Amino acid sequence: MKRAIKYLLVYKERLISGYTVKILGTVVELFIPWIMAKILDEVVPSVKTTKNYMPLALWGGLMVLLALAARFMNMFANRRAAWTSKEAVKTLRDDLFKKIMNLSGKQTDSFGIPSLVSRLTSDVYNIHGFFNVIQRIGVRAPLIITGGLIISATLDPVLTLTLVATLPFVFLIVFTISRKGVPLYTKVQTSVDEMVRVIREDISGIRVIKALSKEQFERGRFQGANDDTVKNELHAAGVMAASGPFISLSLNLGLVLVVIVGAYRINSGASLPGVIVAFLTYFTMILNAVITVNRIFINYSKASASADRVWAVMDSENDLKVTAEMKHSTNGHRIEFRNVSFTYGDPSEATDEKMVLKNISFTVEPDESLGIIGATGSGKTTILSLLMRYYDATKGEIYVDGRNVKEYELDELRRKFGAAFQNDVVFADTIEENISFGRDIPHRDIEKAAKAAQAYDFIMGKDGGFEHEATIKGSDLSGGQKQRLFISRALAGSPEILILDDSSSALDYKTDAEVRKAINADYAGSTMISVAQRISSVMKMDKIIVLDDGKMIGYGKHDELMENCEVYREIAATQLGSLA
Ligand code: ADP
C-alpha cells in the first residue's frame, strides 16, 4: 500500500493546496454551531431588551457567509482530490500495463489473463477509491473529531464527558470489524477473476456455444461464477456494514443522554439552551466523522487487498534475463535448436516424460525454409514460442543468427520475426492499420504484403478498401479472410524470419499454394517457418520436421521423409491420396 501512495505523492503541491483548503473549510465549519450558540444565548436576549436588530443581522449574516465559504472550500478541495487521484491512478495503470506486456509466457500463464485484466481494472479502481477518500475525509474527519471535542469542552465540559464516554465504543467497533475486512476483500477479487474468466471464454466462444446449443450450460457456469462473486461481496460488505447499526445506536443513545443531562443543567442554571443546541450539532458532527473514518477503513481494506494483487505483478521478476555473450556460438546458421527440451510446468519437477518438447535439434540456413508438421498438441506452436522467446527452453540452447536467443534484448530479437498465429486478433480499426499495426509501414509495402497474401482482392471489394473499418474481432470477415489479413500483417514488415502458424488452414488448396508461391517470389530474403497439419502446406519446404508427442520422428525433405518416415508417409497417403 505504501508504494501505491507514492503514486499520489508525486502531486505534492496539489495535495498540499487541496489539504490546506480542506482544513480551512473544516475549521470554518466548526465555528458555525459556536456562533449559533452565541446568537441564541446572547444576541437574541439582548435584542429583546435593546430592540436593536443590528447585532442579530450581523451575526446571522456572518453565519450564512461562513457556511457558504465552508461549502465552497470543501468543493474546491474535493475537485482537487478527484484530479490528483485520477492522475495518480493513470500513471499506476500505465506502469502495470507496461509490466504486464513484458511478462514472460510462463508468468502470464501463472497469473492467468482474466486475473491480469481484473488487476488492471477493478483492483486499480479500488486504489483510486482509497486515494479519493483519504483526500476528501482523511484529514477532515479527524479534525472534526478533535476540533469538535475542544470547542464542546469550552462550551460545556460536563456534557463533553458524556460524549467522550461513547466514543471508545464506536472506535472499537469500527476497528475490529475493519480488520476482518482485508482478507474478505481479497476473496472477493479472486471470485471476480473467476467471473471475468468465464465471461471471456463465453464471449470469445459465443459462436461455437450457440452452434452447439450450449447456452444453457454456459449460462449455468456464468451464474455460478456470478453467484460466488455476489456471495463473497455480500459477506465482505455485510461484515463491514455490521458496524453501521451499532454506530447509529450509540449515536442515538448519546443524543438522548445529552438531552437529558442538558435539560438538568439548564434547569439548574449550569448551562444555556443555545449551548445545548450547539452541543447536539457538534455531537452529530463528531459521530458522523467517526462513521466516515469507518469509510476510510473500508476503502483501505479494499485498496490494500488490491494493492497486494497489483504489486504481486509489479514485483514479479523478469524471468527472461538477457545474458552476456556466451561461449558457445554457432556461425552461419540462421536458426539452430540444440538438444532443446521444454515443459510448461515447474522445471524442477519435470521428468523426461512430462516434457512437451523432447530433445529437439535442427538447423535452418538463411536461404532455407522449414516446415513443421504433426498432430494437434504435438508441440509445433511451442517450438515457435521458444524461438521467439516467450518462454525459455528447460534444457538445451536456441540460436538465431549465430547468437543465443538469451543474448538478445527481447525487442531486438522479436523485431526479426513476422508471425501469423492462429489465435491472432483483428482490431476494430481500418484494414490498413490492422496490417501496419502501428509500425509506420509505407502504404506500398502494405499493398505488396496484401497482394502476396492473396488478400488484396477481398480488401478492395470492401467499402473503402484499405480504409474499411473492421468490426471488433473481425466478425465481418470470414475465417480465410482473417488468415490472409494475418499473413499480410506478418509480411508487411519484410521480416528476416517469417512464421506462419497454421495460418492457412482455412484457405483452399489453390489459394494456399498461391500464397506460398507469392511469398517465395516477393519475400525471398525471409526465412520461412511454416507450421501446418496439411502436408501440402509443407511439402515444398527445404526441411520438414515431423513431430509426434514432442519428439522429432522425422527430419528431412519431402522425398526423404516419404522414404524413411512411416508416419509422414501415412499422412501423405491420407491427405494427398484423396487429392489425386
Ligand atoms: P500444437 O501447436 O502442435 O498443437 P502446442 O505446442 O500448442 O501443440 O502444445 C503442445 C502441448 O503443450 C499440448 O499438450 C498443450 O496442451 C500444451 N500446452 C500448450 N500451451 C500451454 C500452456 N501455455 N500451458 C500449459 N500447457 C500448454
DSSP letter string, 119-160: IIIIIHHHHHHHHHHHHHTTTHHHHHHHHHHHHHHHH-HHHH
Hey, how many other C-beta atoms are within 10 angstroms of the C-beta on 404? 19
The reported pLDDT for the residue numbered 332 is 47
Hey, how many other C-beta atoms are within 10 angstroms of the C-beta on 208? 9
Name which of 107, 115, 96, 113 is nearest 319 in CA terms: 107
The verdict on the CB of residue 550 being under 6 Å from ligand 1 is no
Q: Do residues 336 and 495 lie in contact, with contact meaning Cβ atoms separated by under 8 Å?
A: no
Parallel, antiparallel or unpaired: strands 403-404 and 395-400: antiparallel
What gap in Å lies between CA 148 and CA 129, rounded to an integer? 27
| Diameter of the chain measured on Cα atoms | 123
What gap in Å lies between CA 544 and CA 374, rounded to an integer? 10
Scan for cell 518416415, then name that residue. 565
The reported pLDDT for the residue numbered 213 is 67
Residue 357 Cα to ligand 1 midpoint, Å, equals 10
Helix H or strand E encompassing 326: none
The verdict on the CB of residue 141 being under 6 Å from ligand 1 is no
Q: Which atom of ligand 1 is nearest to the CA of 376?
A: 4
The reported pLDDT for the residue numbered 526 is 87
The reported pLDDT for the residue numbered 578 is 52
What averages of pLDDT result for each successive group of 10 residues across the chain (580 residues)? 92 95 95 92 88 90 95 95 95 94 89 88 93 93 93 89 79 74 76 80 69 74 85 82 74 83 89 89 87 82 91 90 63 80 86 88 90 92 93 94 90 89 85 88 94 94 91 82 93 91 84 91 89 88 94 94 92 73
Q: Do residues 522 and 448 lie in contact, with contact meaning Cβ atoms separated by under 8 Å?
A: yes
The reported pLDDT for the residue numbered 182 is 66
End-to-end CA distance of the chain: 68
What gap in Å lies between CA 431 and CA 534, rounded to an integer? 28
Question: 3-state class of 528 per DSSP?
Answer: strand
Chain centre distance of CA 437: 22
The reported pLDDT for the residue numbered 20 is 96
Q: Which domains does the chain have, with CATH numbers?
A: 4-314 (1.20.1560.10), 329-416+540-580 (3.40.50.300)
| Residue bearing the CA closest to ligand 1, atom 27 | 344
pTM recorded for the entire structure = 0.75
| Residue bearing the CA closest to ligand 1, atom 10 | 379
- Alpha helix (H) residue ranges in 205-272: 206-211, 215-241, 243-267
Question: 3-state class of 161 per DSSP?
Answer: helix
What gap in Å lies between CA 417 and CA 420, rounded to an integer? 10
Residues in CB range of 179: below 8 A, 6 or more apart: none
The verdict on the CB of residue 389 being under 6 Å from ligand 1 is no
Question: 3-state class of 341 per DSSP?
Answer: strand
What gap in Å lies between CA 7 and CA 10, rounded to an integer? 6
Q: Which atom of ligand 1 is nearest to the CA of 378?
A: 3
The reported pLDDT for the residue numbered 333 is 52
Question: CB-hemisphere CA count at 13 Å for 249?
Answer: 8
Residue 378 Cα to ligand 1 midpoint, Å, equals 8
Residue 550 Cα to ligand 1 midpoint, Å, equals 10
Q: Which atom of ligand 1 is nearest to the CA of 383?
A: 6
The reported pLDDT for the residue numbered 580 is 43
Cell of 452: 502476396
Name which of 358, 441, 430 is nearest 394 in CA terms: 358
What gap in Å lies between CA 147 and CA 161, rounded to an integer? 15
The verdict on the CB of residue 381 being under 6 Å from ligand 1 is yes
The reported pLDDT for the residue numbered 95 is 95
Chain centre distance of CA 262: 56
Scan for cell 538447423, then name that residue. 363
The reported pLDDT for the residue numbered 7 is 95
